[in-house]
Chain A
């Protein structure tokens, strides 16, 4: 298992890693020779333009897609050596889109996150963990509502609570902030940060580069299925790289100790 390294340590353990990952779907190359390490105790952001392969990479790391070439390893073992249930005790995933076939209530959905621990000693804490997870994701007040009647943001937070209830040491979040307001965006990433600080490994796909800069230890920039750069936000989020990757002039500003990434915009006529 991983050691609990303090934040800022450069040599952290990789709990989940992809080596030389390549994948094409229907003849289109989605990922091309990608190397990536997800480390205990840190938040790793995957950023990049639409179609860069971020979500696919996350799916490969989660074991949803088998890569054509390369290998995913979980704690020094190939991912494929783990059963679905064993994997579910190690990594949890928050998908971009939430589906639910039937009208379960919010607390029932969150309880589903406890499934990997069914018939283990940890099942004794089911109720406690579910309540605490709902609180952390700010859905306690929705607990008896039917999931399909919730707004997109409330559904996303419910799914996040389900992920927290799963109590895995690896958290994978695919655009967790897409449907959320500013308050809940910050809250979700704060919780992810806390999880990392207490030893979890967090990998998160983000579109908002300022959010990525503020909340991650490392950022991995993907473009056209390849890793363009990996490193701390300050190392990676440079105007040159981002302008090139996004094919749009981008400025990186400093605001109260954080990086703020903004696109350069043409001024409106009335301001001229």
Chain B
């Protein structure tokens, strides 16, 4: 077909739209970036040894070789920051980014707004595998053992969900959620069995781990989670354009040049990597992958090129903030963060269901 000719009269109007769209996106990323810095500085300073944000910033800049800002005035401030707080904050940040990105990617490949690692059972699949490692005290891959097991468990469950909930190239919401219920039932049976089998110490470890917590985060764990999360988020950003096309449905996506099956398999591996990154040391933290992409879509629409990186940022912000809340809400108590996210995520889920019923007559 011949190339179409431009209509010059619409040009200024178009440019205006492009600028507005561009600004709101830049604005969103700037806002999320600033939020992340603020929440990290706040979170790192809070705890038994209080360090004001300016001193946290000074300490970080100092380590980066920039002698600006005050150093922590508390005698144990520097140690508290670098040995306890930062590993924990960074782990929360990475887990939040990984979970939110995993949610955005899953919703993209299933073409379904309810797909989320926690809801469809991928998190608990990864959890069973990780709990097996804890219960039998396995360490075939050193520090990486739990992460590796979580990855394999997550991969298997994602493939299972995919195989069982797709019919004729699309995923019915009901089928997906019911598949999630079935999988969660199976994995909780597996977890019960492992709890029954494990000795007292491992049992305790598994229980706390399934509640979800950043407690006890140290740099070696961060060293495992960091590459997984970075690789996963980067891969997700790279497939964003194709995820957009997948929204057209499998056939139409193929007609515009997407190798649908290959994209799906790649995306499933990415989801498993991201879930493993989040679950490996932090346990099960549900609903982050559901809530965050929805919030981003409300603001900037469903385009994955913005949605995926923005979800990663907002997920990081939310989980760092949630972790701060978890360890400061009650004095001398470290609440399980998974409990908090579920406490907030559950009502959000209700709201989603109500909204879908109002606008589209429900998800049949």
Contact = CB atoms under 8 A, between A and B. Distances in A.
A168 interface: yes
A136 B4 contact: yes
Q: When A and B form their complex, which 6 residue pairs have the shortest distance between CB atoms, in order from nearest?
A: A132-B4, A88-B257, A101-B111, A102-B302, A99-B249, A85-B257
A195 B6 contact: no
A190 to B, nearest CB: 14
Nearest to A107: B17
A128 B302 contact: no
B5 A128 contact: yes
Interface of B: 1-7, 10, 14, 111-113, 170, 241, 244-249, 251-252, 254-260, 297, 301-303, 360
A167 B255 contact: no
Interface residues of A, number: 51
Given A85-B257, A115-B256, A104 B247 contact: yes
Nearest to B171: A101
A147 to B, nearest CB: 9
Contact of A84 (B3, B112, B247, B259): B259
Interface of A: 59, 62-64, 83-89, 91-93, 95, 99-105, 108-109, 112-113, 115-116, 118, 125, 127-129, 131-133, 135-136, 148, 159, 162, 164, 166-169, 171, 195, 198-200
A101 B112 contact: yes
Nearest to B255: A93
Contact of B259 (A83, A166, A171): A83
A195 B257 contact: no
Contacts of B252: 93, 95, 99, 159
A200 B111 contact: no
B256 A198 contact: no
Nearest to A149: B359
A139 to B, nearest CB: 14
26 contacts: A64-B254, A84-B257, A85-B257, A89-B257, A95-B249, A99-B111, A99-B252, A100-B248, A101-B246, A102-B111, A103-B302, A104-B301, A108-B244, A115-B241, A115-B257, A115-B258, A128-B4, A129-B4, A131-B7, A131-B14, A132-B5, A132-B7, A159-B252, A167-B1, A195-B1, A198-B1
A135 B7 contact: yes
Nearest to A105: B301
B85 to A, nearest CB: 38
Given A136-B4, A164-B1, A100 B247 contact: yes
A65 to B, nearest CB: 10
B155 to A, nearest CB: 23
B17 to A, nearest CB: 8
A166 B256 contact: yes
B10 A131 contact: yes
A50 B295 CA distance: 44
A125 B260 CA distance: 26
Contacts of A101: 111-113, 246-247, 249
A168 B1 contact: yes
A268 to B, nearest CB: 38
Nearest to B111: A101
Given A101-B113, A115-B257, 14 more contacts: A84-B258, A88-B255, A88-B256, A99-B248, A99-B249, A100-B247, A101-B249, A103-B297, A109-B248, A112-B244, A135-B7, A159-B252, A167-B3, A195-B1
Contacts of A89: 257
Contact of A87 (B6, B10, B111, B257): B257
B255 A62 contact: yes
Contacts of A87: 257
A167 B5 CA distance: 13
B301 A103 contact: yes
Contacts of B251: 59, 64, 93, 95
A143 to B, nearest CB: 9
A148 B297 CA distance: 15
B221 to A, nearest CB: 35
A112 B245 contact: yes
Nearest to B112: A101
Contacts of A128: 3-6
A112 B256 contact: yes
Contacts of A93: 251-252, 255
Contacts of B111: 99, 101-102
A109 B303 CA distance: 10
Nearest to B254: A84
B4 A113 contact: no
B104 to A, nearest CB: 11
